[in-house]
Amino acid sequence: MLKLSILLLCIYLFGSIPFSLLVGFMFGKDIRTEGSGNVGGSNLGRTCGKKAFVLGFLLDFSKGAIAVLVANYFGINPLLAGAIAILGHTFPIFLKFKGGKGVATAFGFVCAYSFWGAMFAITIFLIVLKISKYVSLSSIVAIGSYFLYTLFFQPAFYSLAIFGIFMFVTFMHRTNIQRIKAGNETKITWM
Decide: 76 and 1 in contact? Cβ < 8 Å. no
Q: What is the DSSP letter of 99?
A: -
CA angle 63–32–52, rounded 5-degree value: 55
Whose CA is closest to 78, among 30, 112, 101?
112
Percent helix, strand and coil across the chain, each rounded to 5? Answer: 75, 0, 25
pTM: 0.87
pLDDT, tens digit, 9 for 90 and up, residues 16-58: 999 999 999 999 999 999 887 889 888 898 889 889 989 999 9
Q: What's the pLDDT at 190?
A: 61
